[in-house]
Amino acid sequence: PEPTATPIPTVTPEPSATPVPSATPVPTMAPEPTIPPPASTGMTSEQDQALIELCRSQIGIRYVYAAMSPSVGFDCSGLTSYVYKTLFNITLPRISYQQAVYGTAVSSSDIRIGDILCFDWSRNDGITDHVGIYVGNGRYIHASSSNRTYYDDCGAVIESTVIFGRSPVVAIRRIIQ
């Protein structure tokens, strides 16, 4: 008998990925690095100047407890409230110790025009009882109940010097970021 050929097993090849010619590759541009916006600088120089001018225009206005207008008078928080409402349409809390927690705390080394200085003049208990607005160069404007420069019977809005370390500043608050 004739030898029979042994069938050779056939293997079906696995499908393989055949490279497909592609169009000319388009170079991809690396994305621009994302640069965060600069930290806020607060007020513009024009706003700084307007704030200083408005504050200084109030010097000599009578101190009147709980008042907040040039026609009647000011107490300390009434003056700060008036300035921020007039220039920026911002309504501050009405009482000094409430203003001492409004806005953002800043250090004396970072103080800028428009920041609110919060003092503890009366009891030395760390609770704000007086506020004023910083106008630059170590100066602030506030409605003083005790200064008798303008009136014999009451205080008035005055400009004073703050001496950090000697003045009882308990907080500095930035209203406009």
**What residues act catalytically?**
76, 130, 142
Q: How many angstroms separate the CA atoms of 156 and 75, rounded?
A: 8
Half-sphere exposure of 68 (CA within 13 A, CB side): 16
DSSP β-bridge partners for residue 103: none
Residue 29 phi/psi, 5° resolution? -85, 135
Segments in 58-113 forming alpha helices (H): 76-88, 96-99
Sign of CA dihedral 43, 49, 50, 51: positive
Structure-block tokens of residue 177? 């970021």
Residue type, 118: C
